Copies of this chain bind each other. A is one copy, B any other.
Amino acid sequence: MTHITNTLTVQTQSHDYPIFIGASTAVQIDLASPILPFIKGKQVLIVTNTTIAPLYLTDLTKHLVAQGLMVESCVLPDGEQYKNQEYINTIYDVLMKNHFARDCTLIALGGGVIGDMTGFAAASFMRGVNFIQVPTTLLAQVDSSVGGKTGINHPLGKNMIGAFWQPVCVLADMTTFDTLPKREFAAGLAEVVKYALIFDKTFLDWLEVNAAKITARDGAILSELVYRCCDYKAKIVASDERESGVRALLNFGHTFGHVIETHMGYGNWLHGEAVAVGMVQAMMMSQKLGLIGEDEVARVVDLLQIFDLPVKPPYIEPSVALDLMGHDKKVQNGSIRLVLLKELGKAFVTKDFDMAMLTEVLNANH
């Protein structure tokens, strides 16, 4: 049995869907029962990867088969480098070879990469089929399972091919964190801290108070944490599904983080690690603009360190970093948009800062 402690309803343009947050009460994890009512038709494809398959695939398949469902699986290699057309084709091939019809259901069992790929396969197979997310990483639970962004990478750019496609339900089971490596758990916490910094200072207080329980992966606390993060994101997405306005605030720390990820080569720094450092840099910018105090930056740096996250960037030549940020050399100031903090818990987007100041931040702290 899975004990659902929180249910959140996400509103989207196409339909509303629930995120079930809970934990398995038995030794044997049961990822099937909460999602069963959302399976359409008799044909189910579980898409997962070589890391997650040995942990959960057999049990989930067994539970679904016991309900009379015809279950196939597609096990992809684990990693962002496989989030491409070649591997999305392996999903299509399984669907076609097994004569899947339009009333089938695709289940994403894994982290963000599996969610993105399965979602895009569901969006594009027969022009759109039923899709359920079972995110097994903290990052996927608090970030990519809300918002409907799906897609794959193009050799010349990340996430360039995709669709907005909403799941019919999401199951975030805290028990899956038992098998999540420490570094990946920490990377997920970077996005958690981000929500606090851009939306809600009281959540920052809560994270500090509960930091020890969080790093000890206390199920009840994590359940509350995931609920709060999904709630922040769901509210943003509901007001801005196709990403024209306020959703941009979710990029806090990401412009700086992108520089680190790209320059260091994808996979060397985890996305969340780069975002953690990027948030520190964005706070330093905010501090230089007189918006937040040095003590506030220090407070967040402390929390990130408790969460085992890096807070200092690797050395990257500022001119290289500015190029990666898309700086237009013909424009002195105003060619780069940054998400900065007005205060802890309030973010805004601005182009109104001095390039010299940005260069100082890029030069500092490594």
- Identify the A interface with B (CB < 8 A): 85, 89, 92-93, 96-97, 120, 123-128, 149-151, 154-157, 160-164, 242
Contact = CB atoms under 8 A, between A and B. Distances in A.
7 contacts: A96-B155, A96-B157, A124-B151, A126-B162, A127-B149, A127-B163, A128-B242
A124 B162 contact: yes
A154 B96 CA distance: 8
Interface of A: prevailing SS = mixed
A13 to B, nearest CB: 9
A117 B194 CA distance: 39
A154 B124 contact: no
A160 B128 contact: no
Contact of A164 (B89, B127, B151): B127
A163 B163 contact: yes
A171 B140 CA distance: 43
A160 B85 contact: no
Contact of A92 (B149, B161, B163, B164): B161
A69 B149 CA distance: 30
A160 B126 contact: yes
A164 B97 CA distance: 23
A164 B127 CA distance: 6
A96 B160 contact: yes
A323 to B, nearest CB: 14
A128 to B, nearest CB: 7
A156 B97 contact: yes
